Amino acid sequence: MNNLATTVNDVIKKQPMLVALAAFILGVIIGLPVLGWGLWPVEWKDSDIAHLRGDLKQEYMSLVASAYALEPTTNGYNRAKERLAALGPDAAQSLAEAEASATGADKARLTALRTVLETTGDLASPGGGAASAPGLLSQLAVPLIACGAVVILGLVGGLLYLRLGGALGRGRSAAPRPGLGAQAAEMMEMPSTAATPFGEPPIARFMTTYTLGDDQYDDSFSIDGPDGSFFGECGMGISETIGVGDPKKVTAFEVWLFDKNDIRTVTKVVMSEHAFRDEALKSRLAAKGEPILAAAGDTVSLETATLVVTARVVDMAYGGGALPPSSFYERMTVELAAYQRPAA
């Protein structure tokens, strides 16, 4: 259960736009067909005669015929026409169906009414243009169109997100985090010293810095090609804390890589010396990704189908106090360099 919750949190954190899109589509599907049309459908009150069910229209027709039989005068005939007009184009069809299903005196009254109406030309024959009752497909046309539109919008939105890389996360790609010191800012301007796995310079390079007190630390960067095409995302965030109280004492970070051409997100857990030597904690964090002991100058590599990202620990320092030594970070600066695998 904990692993499932961790996985869900990771997906929400790394792919917020896709999660929001999926939640919107699910909400529409549950809200319209299930709740709106199934469990709590709209209840009509005081509707027109024309919206009655077919059997009720036939019963209404029998009542009109009975009233006319009691008053077969000009006034009675006019009132019968007005009552039938309330049924609209279905009047002829409803009269024919009522006459076909009736027996005895009811049938005779309905036949008499139909004969008079057809003789005077005030009612077309059932086959002469009367509208037939709407079929199931026509009744469901609007709901089906609405569901189809939602699905299409969802697919288009997902494709655009994968194609463009999520516009919300792009603006932070190359900008240093607020509060970076002069040393970290200078390192962002330095030429990359990261390893070049394929003998080519990285297609993207980022610098991220955590400092004690940044309890919401979670950096993500969009990996784009020279032509602006979206390849994926990478980032770093808090994975585990130690002790109690504020600010949080971070003892491990998650470094992750998402490749749009791969079905998985690769994650590695960069741990403090204390956390790495705690076998119980190390085993628990291993569910998130491969545990790595952090050391200044070390490089961690994350590989997917078409991308490789190296994470180099540029600078780090442990905090002090009542907690065990080397158990949480005062600061951590990591350089992320993204490379595209050469085509096979």
Going by pLDDT thresholds of 50, 70 and 90, the confidence category of residue 115 is confident
Distance CA 74, CA 261 (A): 80
The two structure tokens encoding residue 118? 């057809």
The per-residue pLDDT for 94 is 79
Axis-axis angle for helices 16-29, 141-164 (nearest 10): 180
Going by pLDDT thresholds of 50, 70 and 90, the confidence category of residue 335 is very high
The per-residue pLDDT for 196 is 62
Please state the rounded mean pLDDT for residues 133-149: 62
Q: Tell me: pLDDT of 127 over 60.
A: no
The two structure tokens encoding residue 275? 């956390």
**Contact by Cβ (8 Å): 218, 239:** no
The per-residue pLDDT for 142 is 65
The per-residue pLDDT for 32 is 66
- In this structure, the dihedral spanned by the alpha carbons of residues 329, 297, 175 and 302, taken in order and rounded to 10 degrees, is -100
Tens of pLDDT along 265-305?
Answer: 899 999 999 999 999 999 999 999 999 998 888 999 999 98
Tens of pLDDT along 9-61?
Answer: 666 666 677 777 778 887 777 766 666 666 666 666 666 777 777 778 778 88
Q: Give which of 332, 235, 323, 206 is closest to 275, Cα–Cα.
A: 323
Tens of pLDDT along 251-275?
Answer: 999 999 999 888 788 999 999 999 9
What is the longest distance spanned by two Cα atoms in the chain?
A: 107
CB atoms within 10 A of CB 287: 11
pTM (two decimals): 0.47
Alpha helices in 165-285 (DSSP H): 167-170, 182-189, 273-277, 279-285
Distance CA 183, CA 211 (A): 14
Q: Tell me: pLDDT of 119 over 70.
A: yes
Q: Give which of 130, 127, 96 is closest to 113, Cα–Cα.
A: 96
Distance CA 294, CA 317 (A): 10
Let me know if 104 is exposed, middle or buried by CB neighbors in 10 A (0-12, 13-18, 19+).
exposed
Give the type of residue at 56: L
**Contact by Cβ (8 Å): 236, 253:** yes
Distances in Å between the Cα of 240 and the Cα atoms of 12, 237, 288, 300, 313 are 17, 10, 11, 18, 18
Domain ranges of the chain: 17-43+137-164, 49-133, 170-340
Percent of the chain clearing pLDDT 90 (strictly above): 32
Q: Tell me: pLDDT of 147 over 80.
A: no
